[in-house]
Homo-oligomer: A and B are copies of this chain.
Amino acid sequence: MDSLGDKILNGDRRALARAITLVESGRADHRAQASELLAHLAKAGRQSLRVGLSGTPGVGKSTFIESFGMMLIEQGLRVAVLAVDPSSTRSGGSILGDKTRMERLSREKNAFIRPSPSQSHLGGVARRTREAIALCEAAGFDVVLIETVGVGQSETVVSEMSDLFLLLLAPAGGDELQGVKRGIMEMADMILVNKADGDLKATATRTCADYAGALRLLRKRPQDPEGFPKAMTVSAVEKHGLDQAWDEMTTLSGWRRENGHWDGNRAAQARFWFDQEVRYALLSRLDTPTARAEMDRLGAAVGAGNLSPTAAADRMLSILATH
């Protein structure tokens, strides 16, 4: 175990990949090993910049990550990319299923790309992703990008594990502005309007101005310096605006570190993670072959009308209490 931990602390990507597979496992002995490994690695106290990134299909998210990630690597930084996609089982594969999506980045030795664990339950994906982030931090990555397609609650989940949250949008007509829900806007530290190139450049500039206006209507947040949250245009294809976006991100995170918001946010996130872990573990008692069989048996009796839902629940709890 220590040997795997030490390899990770040395930045070994294959060891990191193995450790992520370990935290993704549902087996009890794997869970125990993972818990021990995480406790060991936590002692190193390493921190990455955790950047959440949400964008619906078609906004050019893969191209953005590829270009943005390459720029960071050219600056000498190490970059990990993790995906959160609760729908990956249903669609028959992860949104990051093949690394050809980010062909150049995936070949870089200072990059690490990991697809979303294939679980249908967002809570399970969230748990594994939080642990994968901790592993990437221990492996010395400077930036961990956590991407999501933004289905359902996944933006909330990603923002709850990020230091900064970016929203990547495509140029659009003015009336499509309302397509971004207010709750999502309020999560964003920066809105990046992609595809500010070629025929779409003027539209992107207008869209950016619209979002900048919308952001100004939101209440200023105590954790932000003047001018944030902010909207910018970028072109992932032409590699325009990526360095400016990175400058703004470092400005914002630096400001938050100095003002204590960074530590406060990390502490709140850790407490939340603890709370979720406890809940998840309590519910995991239903996730054994015996428990599933009993749930099926009692559920059938309920469905047939032979047992009330409440009475069946009481019986199930008695069964769990005696195991």
Report whether A302 and B270 are in contact in the complex, using a CB–CB cutoff of 8 Å. Answer: yes
From B131, B278, B298, B309, A316 is in contact (CB under 8 Å) with B278
Report whether A274 and B35 are in contact in the complex, using a CB–CB cutoff of 8 Å. Answer: no
Q: Which residues does chain B contribute within 8 Å of A314, judged by CB atoms?
A: 35
Within 8 A of B (CB), among A252-274: 267-268, 270-271, 273-274
A304 at the interface (CB under 8 A from B): yes
Counting chain A residues whose Cβ lies within 8 A of the other chain, the interface size class is: 35 or more
Q: Give the docked Cα–Cα distance between A182 and B34 (Å).
A: 41
Report whether B303 and A275 are in contact in the complex, using a CB–CB cutoff of 8 Å. Answer: no
Selected interface stretch from A91-99, A166-174, A279-287: A279-287
From B130, B267, B286, A279 is in contact (CB under 8 Å) with B286
A277 at the interface (CB under 8 A from B): yes
Copies of this chain, complex-wide, total: 2
Task: Mark A31-42 against chain B: 1 for CB-CB distance below 8 A, else 0.
Answer: 000110011001
Report whether A313 and B281 are in contact in the complex, using a CB–CB cutoff of 8 Å. Answer: yes
From B130, B308, B316, A39 is in contact (CB under 8 Å) with B308
Distance (whole angstroms) from the CB of A221 to the closest CB of chain B: 20
The residue of chain B having its C-beta at the shortest distance from the C-beta of A303 within the complex is: B267
Task: Mark A280-301 against chain B: 1 for CB-CB distance below 8 A, else 0.
Answer: 0111011000000001001100
Q: Give the docked Cα–Cα distance between A175 and B174 (Å).
A: 14
Q: Which residues does chain B contribute within 8 Å of A286, judged by CB atoms?
A: 278-279, 282
Q: Give the docked Cα–Cα distance between A272 and B320 (Å).
A: 19
Report whether B38 and A303 are in contact in the complex, using a CB–CB cutoff of 8 Å. Answer: no
A302-B38 CB under 8 A given contacts A278-B313, A282-B285, A283-B283: no
| Closest CB pairs A-B (n = 3) | A277-B313, A267-B303, A273-B309
21 interchain pairs, CB-CB under 8 A: A35-B311, A267-B304, A268-B303, A270-B303, A270-B308, A271-B299, A271-B303, A271-B309, A273-B302, A273-B309, A274-B309, A277-B309, A277-B310, A277-B312, A278-B286, A278-B317, A279-B283, A281-B313, A281-B317, A282-B285, A282-B320
Interface residues of chain A, those whose CB is within 8 Å of chain B, are 34-35, 38-39, 42, 130-131, 134, 175, 267-268, 270-271, 273-275, 277-279, 281-283, 285-286, 295, 298-299, 302-305, 308-314, 316-317, 320
